[in-house]
Structure 1
Amino acid sequence: MFTRYRSVLTFRGAWRFSLAAFVARLPISISTLGIVLLVTGLGRSYGLAGALSASYTIANGLSSVVQGRLLDRLGQSVVLPVVTGVYAIGLVGLVTATQSHSPAVLAFGAAFVAGVAYPPIGSVVRARWSHVLTGRPSDVQTAYALESVVDELIFVIGPTVATVLATQWHPWAGLGLALVTGVPGLLVLAALRDSQPVPLQGRQQSGPRPAMPWLPVLVLAGVSFALGSMFAAAEVATVAFSAEQHAKSLAGVLLACWSAGSMVAGLATGTLSWRRSATTRVRVGSFLLALVMVPMSFVGSMAVMGVTLFVAGFAIAPTLIAIFSAIEQGVPAARLTEGIALSHTGLAAGLAPGAGLAGWVIDAHGASPSYLVALGGGVVAALASLALPSSFTAAASAHGTAHDVPVV
């Protein structure tokens, strides 16, 4: 089962940049949860926690595509060290402003700065895979599946450790973990120059840039936005549910169960050859993600919630892998990073309304009803996926895309 994964990791510097990106990505699973744990741990409302999380995620969503273009033009070794320093300043400022009960505008400003600076690591590492595996389209598919599994692994490790630190040691410790993993990981990744794509400034340019298939790309970004809202709402709801069950320190364990289910499904997905197109799998996966959210509002115990989240997680990774596979197959090679960044932007931007609305529902009605916000995000994703043209990847392949591969 793991032979294909082992194979891609033997390519030039692959295991090194993949490992560095794994560490650099841990803040993705920690930052919004860390903000919630910090604010509520200091005795302040879930509404404020959700609003600060929204500030962070909106900023990150707005900056991802811009950063992606800068990374393409100037190179990862130039851009990553600069944004890493700004990210560290913003995160420290957020903790300081919140703990010192400074005016709220300072905390919101610091959260915004940290969000703006944190780079789109998913796009960065997938661009590296595309670069080192040039001419090996099947290996690119396996590498993308591997990265989706890594994405889930960080949501198994990050929330669990961050929650324990924040509840058993100090409320700021969750964001502290994001700082001490994200900064070194990003700097090491920047230093690994042998595997990074050649920046545009160093390439021979010929002819105009190929056209972006905007309709399907924007539909996929819309699906990603709705899924991001679902993920964020479920995360905040799960923290509140654990608190209501007098087991807030186990919130990270529940979230880890969710991600563990996704990770198992992702590992299997990367080893299969699919007869259905990636666009069809996006539609089916989005529908299943909405369906698995239905039982959440009716669960009344930690043990049952853990099992329910684990089973629900099986729909996550296959759906996300299908989204990135559709982009990889349907977007011209010269604009692949931009296309990936747009879906990452959708996911990040969707976190804000999901977390904010879930926080409001929790403050007004409690934890269980807030899972309906997550259900709503899944329904919107399923409906949006219906607008995705079935011929997207096939038509794009005929005109030359990032990798001329069979549909998987």
Structure 2
Amino acid sequence: MFTSYRRILGYPGTLRFSMAGLLARLPISMVGLGIVLLVSAATGRYGVAGAVSAAYMFANAGLAILQGRLLDRFGQGRVLTAASLGFAVAVILLVVAVQADWPIGTTYVFAALAGGCLPQVGSAVRARWSHVLDQPGQVQTAYALEAVLDEAVFILGPIVVTVLATVWHPVAGIVVAVVACVSGTLWFTSQRATEPPAHARSGATGPRGDMPWPTVIPLAVVCAALGVLFGAAEVTTVAFADERAHKAVSGALLALWALGSLASGVITGAVHWRRGPSVRVRWGALAMACAMSPLAFVGTLPLMGLTLFVAGFAIAPTMIAAMSLTEEVVPAGRLTEGMAIMQTGLVAGVAPGATLSGLVVDHQGASAAYLVSVAAGIVAALAGLAIPRQRAPYRH
């Protein structure tokens, strides 16, 4: 089963840049929560803490596409190095502003700067795999590997930052995230042999510069809808556990959800698919909607854990198909930008999903709020139908 993974990791340098990318991506799941823990500990106000964290996330979503475009145009080495250093400086200033009780406006500014500078290593890693590998099946296996590592990040990151912030010091979790980001990014950018070439004219018109918007736009909508699904499910699951007087169990429930996705990601990378990624995106989005439907009717914590674990199996295959389709249709000169568009869609959907589900929880309870995730899955499935069925794939 693992022969496919051994084959791609046998290429020179692939294991090293993938591990560097894993380390550099840890802040994705650490900093937002770390900001909440830091600001709430200093001010005692969770509303302010959530707003500061939202400023960080919105800036990250808003500038990710621009950074992806710069990565394609000027190369990964220069852009990611500058971004990681800017991220470190902004986070340090954020911590100082909170600890020194500077005006709250400065905290929002530094949080936004940190979010805007967060290195888009996830997109860069996938672009690097596409450059190193030349067989579509191997690229899909590589994307499956990165999806598994993403799930590992989202399982480990929140645990690490929470333990450090509560047991040691509220600043500790964010400091570890910064160290992981800078060290991982610099390790990643130092590996020049596997770095894809810069495309100075990536924004130009022509066959190598045109973005295939008829595919990219509905695919980005699919990703945004899935972001809504994820954000809604996280908030709803916490509320579900809280309603049963076991709020601390919510972390374990969400970990089971991620574990299901991780397992399916491993399987996806080892399977030779006969259907193309556009077909798998459509069926995967529909599977996400169906998988979330039973949650509204579950009443006990053990059964919820089992149901979430099973529902998680629909996540990784859908995301892998979305990234594979992006790699297939987007020109090489704009591939990182294309990946960043999909990542932005995911991130941008999380906050509205969390907000909407929170409103439903307040008025109808947690079980009803799971229907928000179901509705988001249906929107994703409908957007998937708009993806063109017949096209000539772009050859890198």
Do these two structures clear the TM 0.5 threshold for a shared fold by scoring above it? Answer: yes
Q: CA deviation at 1:234?
A: 2.2
Change (3 A) 1:141 1:208: closer
Is the CA contact (8 Å cut-off) linking 2:144 and 2:268 kept in structure 1? Answer: yes
Structure 1: state its 5+ residue gaps.
Answer: 403-408
Matches within 5 A, 1:140-289: 140-201=139-200, 209-243=208-242, 245=244, 247-289=246-288
Moved more, 158-167 or 35-44: 35-44
Q: CA deviation at 1:197?
A: 1.1
Residue in 1 that maps onto 2:351: 352
Residue in 1 that maps onto 2:54: 54
Q: CA deviation at 1:334?
A: 2.9
CA distance in 2, matches of 1:101, 1:372: 41
Is the CA contact (8 Å cut-off) linking 1:163 and 1:250 kept in structure 2? Answer: no
Residue in 1 that maps onto 2:14: 14
Moved more, 144-153 or 12-21: 144-153
Residue 26 of structure 2: SS of its match in structure 1?
helix
Is the CA contact (8 Å cut-off) linking 1:50 and 1:355 kept in structure 2? Answer: no
Moved more, 148-157 or 239-248: 239-248
Identity %: 51
Is the CA contact (8 Å cut-off) linking 1:230 and 1:354 kept in structure 2? Answer: yes
Q: CA deviation at 1:364?
A: 6.5
Matched, 1:89 2:89: yes
Q: CA deviation at 1:250?
A: 4.3
Moved more, 36-45 or 259-268: 36-45
Residue in 1 that maps onto 2:395: 401
Q: CA deviation at 1:379?
A: 2.6
Moved more, 375-384 or 357-366: 357-366
Change (3 A) 1:356 1:65: same
Is the CA contact (8 Å cut-off) linking 2:58 and 2:348 kept in structure 1? Answer: yes
Change (3 A) 1:243 1:187: farther
Is the CA contact (8 Å cut-off) linking 1:258 and 1:309 kept in structure 2? Answer: yes
Matched, 1:377 2:373: no
Residue 315 of structure 1: SS of its match in structure 2?
helix
Q: CA deviation at 1:124?
A: 0.3
Residue 352 of structure 2: SS of its match in structure 1?
helix
Moved more, 249-258 or 178-187: 249-258
CA distance in 1, matches of 2:332, 2:138: 16
CA distance in 1, matches of 2:71, 2:162: 33
**TM-score, scaled to structure 1:** 0.86
Is the CA contact (8 Å cut-off) linking 2:137 and 2:272 kept in structure 1? Answer: no
Residue in 1 that maps onto 2:129: 129
Q: CA deviation at 1:279?
A: 1.5
CA distance in 2, matches of 1:301, 1:47: 30
Structure 2: state its 5+ residue gaps.
Answer: none
Q: CA deviation at 1:303?
A: 3.1
Residue in 2 that maps onto 1:71: 71
Q: CA deviation at 1:50?
A: 4.3
Q: Which amino acid aligns with 1:130?
A: S
State the Cα RMSD in Å: 2.9
Moved more, 225-234 or 33-42: 33-42
Residue 200 of structure 1: SS of its match in structure 2?
coil
CA distance in 2, matches of 1:301, 1:257: 15
CA distance in 2, matches of 1:176, 1:248: 27
CA distance in 2, matches of 1:41, 1:375: 35
CA distance in 1, matches of 2:45, 2:308: 25
Residue 341 of structure 2: SS of its match in structure 1?
helix
CA distance in 1, matches of 2:172, 2:59: 22
Is the CA contact (8 Å cut-off) linking 2:41 and 2:170 kept in structure 1? Answer: yes
Residue in 2 that maps onto 1:312: 311
Change (3 A) 1:361 1:85: farther
CA distance in 1, matches of 2:368, 2:51: 19
Is the CA contact (8 Å cut-off) linking 1:51 and 1:356 kept in structure 2? Answer: no
Q: CA deviation at 1:225?
A: 0.9
Moved more, 176-185 or 19-28: 176-185
CA distance in 1, matches of 2:55, 2:346: 15
Q: CA deviation at 1:383?
A: 2.2
Residue in 2 that maps onto 1:331: 330
* Deviation digits for residues 2-40 of structure 1 (CA, Å, limit 9, x no counterpart): 011011112121110000001111122223333444455
Moved more, 26-35 or 237-246: 237-246
Q: Which amino acid aligns with 1:401?
A: R
Residue in 2 that maps onto 1:406: none
* Deviation digits for residues 267-321 of structure 1 (CA, Å, limit 9, x no counterpart): 1111112233322211121122122223434545443332222111101000001
Q: Which amino acid aligns with 1:221?
A: A
Q: Which amino acid aligns with 2:120?
A: P
**TM-score, scaled to structure 2:** 0.88
CA distance in 1, matches of 2:111, 2:238: 20
Q: Which amino acid aligns with 1:152?
A: E
Residue in 2 that maps onto 1:139: 138
Q: CA deviation at 1:263?
A: 0.7
Q: Which amino acid aligns with 1:53?
A: S
Report how many residues are paired: 395
Q: Which amino acid aligns with 2:395?
A: T
Q: Which amino acid aligns with 2:392?
A: A
Change (3 A) 1:191 1:25: same
* Deviation digits for residues 137-192 of structure 1 (CA, Å, limit 9, x no counterpart): 33222111211111112122222333333444444444344223222111211222
Q: CA deviation at 1:324?
A: 1.1
Residue in 2 that maps onto 1:33: 33
Residue in 2 that maps onto 1:405: none
Q: Which amino acid aligns with 1:331?
A: V
CA distance in 2, matches of 1:48, 1:260: 32
Q: Which amino acid aligns with 1:119?
A: P
CA distance in 2, matches of 1:285, 1:206: 33
Residue 197 of structure 1: SS of its match in structure 2?
coil
Is the CA contact (8 Å cut-off) linking 2:130 and 2:327 kept in structure 1? Answer: no
Change (3 A) 1:363 1:42: farther
